[in-house]
Chain A
Amino acid sequence: MSDELLRIEDLSIDLPIGGEPRTVVSELSLAIGAGEAVGMVGESGSGKSMTAKAIIGLLPRGARTSGKILFDGTDVLGLRGAELRRYRAQSVAMVFQDPRAAINPVRTIDDFMTEALRDVRGMAAPAARAKAVELLTEVSIGDPERVLTNYPHELSGGMLQRVMIAAMVAQEPRLLLADEPTTALDVTTQAEVITILARLREQHGMALLFITHDLDLAGAICDRTAVMYAGGIVEEQGSAEINEHPRHPYSAALLRCRPSLSQQGGRLAAIEGQPVAAFEAPAGCRFAPRCEYAQDACRVAVPALRPVGGAMVACIRAEELGPLTLLDDTPVAINHATPRQPAEETTPESAATQALVTVTDLRKEFALRGGGRFAAVEGLSFTVKAGGSLAIVGESGAGKSTVARMLMGLERPTNGTIMAMGEDRSGPAHGRATRLRRASQIQMVFQDPYLSLDPRQRVGEVLDESLRLHKRMTRDERRTRVAELLEVIGMSARPAASVPAQLSGGQRQRVAIARALAAEPRLIILDEAVSALDVSMQAQILNLLTDIRERTGVAYILISHDLGVVNYLTEAIIVMRRGEVVEAGDTGTIVTAPTEPYTQRLLACVPRPGWTPPARQPLALSPTAPSA
């Protein structure tokens, strides 16, 4: 390729982890042409972020590298001091995952936007400011003059990420590295940012290395996609082709295991086991332990990335397997998640007893600083039947979490009633018995399993504590029950003595679910409970949740912004926007045929095969309502 911009040759990166050098990227090779967009897709530990950091010279202290990263023929791994600074200032720029962390919180947007222009380019302040205004306009920021005087905390996440992109493009780099730039954003904001990124790349002729865990997202913006697993590339192909005809079993498995807008209920084709880092992987093909096509020969040597049928594939069986189909062989049971109760039982009388939770005209106000009140939730009514499931969806600031907190009794409604298990829960719980009864009936699983488990509590203790609180059991009964619960969450092989630090994100979330189950609740509130997990872990947890519901008849309220997950797990849905209900009804109907423009917009923004972000509409303005 004559117009090759970046060439990575046999890059290996060792990081000091636990005092020893551990390989996180292993003999990776990749080329990016001038103006080309390449997607790098993988789960945690795959080494995708470290590869990007190596390109821009930001590897953590103590990292050791071998191989080459040639930018325009110069090995950038050897650059130091002024040379490295010139390369960073003129050739590459990087957009980080979390703009709130990546933009200095104590300096104004003006400072942030113009710093490099003034300091590195030697532009005069007025010229730098003019350029900042121009670029903020390019990223569709309406009032750039005002935004420049703001501090980062005064802007929404979506706005900040646009500021970040504008600041990076201002340096006119030839290669833009984007490390999961939309992971922390709402779907609608994600669609906007993707659109902006694609447009700016074209206008400024930049090459793009787009790092993501979402193959569809990469497909929407990239020419080529490289799939990474455990520190190496396992497949590289045109972005559109890989999403239709993946050739590596891992790429295919990633595509298969995601809940889609067309699948409701049943089982997801989850990938067994955990994603691993290069240094944790066994000899031979690193994916072999989780691969359904693995043979003994796979475990001999790491397969080289080689051309197979127009793609680059690191699998010894690539020719034999050919392009893999996305429809899995495992039969998908259609809609067996729908009504658990036989139809004949739904007489009016039993319908009333069946209603587990009835919320009527719920309203929650918060006092605003500087006077005034703000309604986080307004006029919300819904019913969840025993064993039923309800999804509450919406962008940040929609009031979803406030609803969950009110159901849990963590917030008191300003108006309206919450009837749950035949008890009015609108008021405070008086006395220990009431508090415990309420808590045991409704349990919650939080988004971040790294924060929701006590790091010092062993898994067995976590479950035992919940049993001691909510169940009258002898020590022996509790021990038996803990073992049962570990069995339910598929962790019976793991000793109950492990602490959270020894567990992966997916395993921690399993423990959090088991803790909720220990109380034998009638309802579990899942607050973005699978959002923070890797794609393959998410599928496992969703399957687990389906199994649990079948076994115990527990009802779910799922709070999520991921409509694929919502469609898979729930029968009823409420779409909320700025505290109010936009649309409510049967999940399948609303997901396939939404009537409200807002819901249509939300759905159009969900990445799917062959998806491109929808054109910007007035509705797409980032939510400005303060989040509760």
Chain B
Amino acid sequence: MLRRLVFLVITLLGASIVVYGALFLAPGSPVAAATQGRSLSPVAVKLLEQQYGLNKPLVTRYVDWLGGVVHGDFGSSIVFSEKVGHLLTPRLAVTFELVLYGAVILVLFGILLGTLAALRGALDKLVLFISTVGIATPSFVGALVLISLFAVKLGWFPSLGAGTGVGGRIYHLTLPAIALTVAGTMGVARVTRTSVILELTRDHTDTARARGIAPGGVLRRHVMRNAMVPIATMSGTVIANLFIGTVVVETAFGLNGLGALLVSSVLDKDFAVVLAITLILATAFMVATTVTDLLALWLDPRLRTEGTR
């Protein structure tokens, strides 16, 4: 566990350095974004640069920023003239709810579709076809299709905004969550299908059948239980990647989440905001993969004693 923590810190440090450097090298200036195209006197620009420390050398700025982070201060946004903490808190909720909702859809439908495909020969070809299309569809295309069909044509779901209250949230986030997870769900469905088919033909499944265990019991305790190991690994990896997918989906659905903010902040070169979001997404990604590893360890006792044989 400690090793994982150290690894997390090192990864975050590395990520922040890369992002800092990339932002620095990219064209454009934060001041220009903050002033929104109005021309300022050179004195005013100097003043602004001084206020946000933009006149210091890159390394010094980075070290200053890092010192702040260690003390829980992520700095201020140039564009919004607000503390990053204040700016991000409400958006954090939107993004995490979106990912959580997506994860539920992903696991539920992925496993359901995959299992059905494995068990019912007739459905197999259909699921394979749908999953190929699903995996090949980029999420922004999926988002546009969903909006035009369910929001514009049918009017079942709203196309913009995050809604209020629990019901409103779920209602508003349904289309974005689907758009976010189409490819992932199909990936999980495929892994589920393959593992279930494999476990169905294993000797130990035959042993269970040979002992007169009912099909339900065989499926639950032997086929699905054992197939869960690869399914959990796949789901965890896909869920971790959903955080990255929010960047596109939130923009497409006009959701005020971290992903959408990241896009605009990058364009504005709003250093503090970009860095904070990067760190949050990277942490979330690493936590998700760690949870996945632990889950696999819990599901498969053989992994726990690896190396003794």
Provide the bound-state CA to CA distance between A96 and B209, in Å.
13
**Smallest distance from the beta carbon of B247 to chain A beta carbons, Å?**
37
Most buried by A among B204, B225, B309: B204
Provide the bound-state CA to CA distance between A116 and B208, in Å.
8
Given A88-B210, A96-B207: A101 and B302 interface contact (C-beta under 8 Å): no
Provide the bound-state CA to CA distance between A96 and B229, in Å.
24
Most buried by B among A86, A92, A119, A171: A119
Question: Chain A residues near B202 (CB, 8 Å)?
Answer: 101
A93, B203: Cβ atoms under 8 Å?
Answer: no
Which residue of chain B has its CB nearest to the CB of A60? B201
Q: With an 8 A cutoff between CB atoms, is A610 at the interface?
A: no
Provide the bound-state CA to CA distance between A129 and B98, in Å.
47
Which residue of chain A has its CB nearest to the CB of B229? A106
Within 8 A of A (CB), among B158-175: none
Most buried by B among A93, A106, A167: A106
**Smallest distance from the beta carbon of A84 to chain B beta carbons, Å?**
8
Given A96-B203, A101-B203, A107-B225: A58 and B300 interface contact (C-beta under 8 Å): no
B308, A626: Cβ atoms under 8 Å?
Answer: yes
How many residues does chain A have at the interface if contact means C-beta atoms less than 8 Å apart?
A: 35
Question: Chain B residues near A368 (CB, 8 Å)?
Answer: 308
Contacting chain A: which of B1-9, B131-139, B212-220?
B212-220
Chief secondary structure at chain B's binding surface: helix
Question: Chain B residues near A154 (CB, 8 Å)?
Answer: 305
**Smallest distance from the beta carbon of A542 to chain B beta carbons, Å?**
31
Within 8 A of B (CB), among A290-311: none
**Smallest distance from the beta carbon of B304 to chain A beta carbons, Å?**
9
B309, A115: Cβ atoms under 8 Å?
Answer: no
**Smallest distance from the beta carbon of A171 to chain B beta carbons, Å?**
6
Which residue of chain B has its CB nearest to the CB of A102? B203
Contact among B206, B212, B299 with A86 in the assembled complex (CB-CB below 8 Å): B212
Given A103-B204, A106-B300, A106-B302: A369 and B212 interface contact (C-beta under 8 Å): no
Within 8 A of B (CB), among A355-406: 368-369
Given A103-B207, A104-B204: A119 and B308 interface contact (C-beta under 8 Å): no
Contact among B209, B222, B226 with A88 in the assembled complex (CB-CB below 8 Å): B209
B309, A94: Cβ atoms under 8 Å?
Answer: no
Contact with A along B206-242 (1 / 0, CB 8 A): 1111111110010001100110010000000000000
Q: With an 8 A cutoff between CB atoms, is A151 at the interface?
A: yes
A56, B210: Cβ atoms under 8 Å?
Answer: yes
Given A89-B212, A96-B203: A106 and B309 interface contact (C-beta under 8 Å): no
Question: Chain B residues near A116 (CB, 8 Å)?
Answer: 211-213
Contact among B207, B213, B299, B305 with A102 in the assembled complex (CB-CB below 8 Å): B207
Q: With an 8 A cutoff between CB atoms, is B301 at the interface?
A: yes
How many residues does chain B have at the interface if contact means C-beta atoms less than 8 Å apart?
A: 26
Question: Chain B residues near A86 (CB, 8 Å)?
Answer: 212
B211, A58: Cβ atoms under 8 Å?
Answer: no
Within 8 A of B (CB), among A65-119: 85-90, 92-94, 96, 98, 101-107, 111, 115-116, 119
Given A104-B208, A115-B221: A153 and B203 interface contact (C-beta under 8 Å): no
Within 8 A of A (CB), among B258-306: 299-302, 305
Given A89-B211, A151-B302: A106 and B225 interface contact (C-beta under 8 Å): yes
B210, A627: Cβ atoms under 8 Å?
Answer: no
Q: With an 8 A cutoff between CB atoms, is A436 at the interface?
A: no
Q: With an 8 A cutoff between CB atoms, is A120 at the interface?
A: yes
Contact among B208, B209, B302 with A115 in the assembled complex (CB-CB below 8 Å): B208
Given A94-B210, A101-B204, A107-B221: A369 and B301 interface contact (C-beta under 8 Å): no
A93, B222: Cβ atoms under 8 Å?
Answer: no
Question: Chain B residues near A627 (CB, 8 Å)?
Answer: 309
Provide the bound-state CA to CA distance between A56 and B206, in Å.
10
B222, A104: Cβ atoms under 8 Å?
Answer: yes
A85, B203: Cβ atoms under 8 Å?
Answer: no
Question: Chain A residues near B299 (CB, 8 Å)?
Answer: 106
**Smallest distance from the beta carbon of B297 to chain A beta carbons, Å?**
12
B301, A102: Cβ atoms under 8 Å?
Answer: no
A93, B210: Cβ atoms under 8 Å?
Answer: yes
Q: With an 8 A cutoff between CB atoms, is B37 at the interface?
A: no
Question: Chain A residues near B204 (CB, 8 Å)?
Answer: 101-105
**Smallest distance from the beta carbon of B193 to chain A beta carbons, Å?**
16
Q: With an 8 A cutoff between CB atoms, is B57 at the interface?
A: no
Provide the bound-state CA to CA distance between A299 and B32, in Å.
96
Which residue of chain B has its CB nearest to the CB of A90? B212
B225, A93: Cβ atoms under 8 Å?
Answer: no
**Smallest distance from the beta carbon of A628 to chain B beta carbons, Å?**
10
Given A93-B210, A106-B229, A106-B302: A119 and B217 interface contact (C-beta under 8 Å): yes
Extra contacts besides A103-B207, A168-B211 (13): CB < 8 Å: A86-B212, A87-B212, A89-B212, A90-B212, A94-B207, A96-B207, A102-B203, A103-B204, A105-B300, A115-B208, A120-B212, A153-B302, A369-B308
- Which 3 A-B residue pairs are closest in the complex by CB-CB distance? A89-B212, A88-B212, A101-B203
Report 15 cross-chain contacts, Cβ distance below 8 Å, ordered by A residue: A56-B210, A85-B212, A85-B214, A94-B207, A96-B206, A102-B206, A106-B225, A106-B226, A107-B225, A115-B211, A116-B212, A120-B213, A153-B302, A368-B308, A627-B309
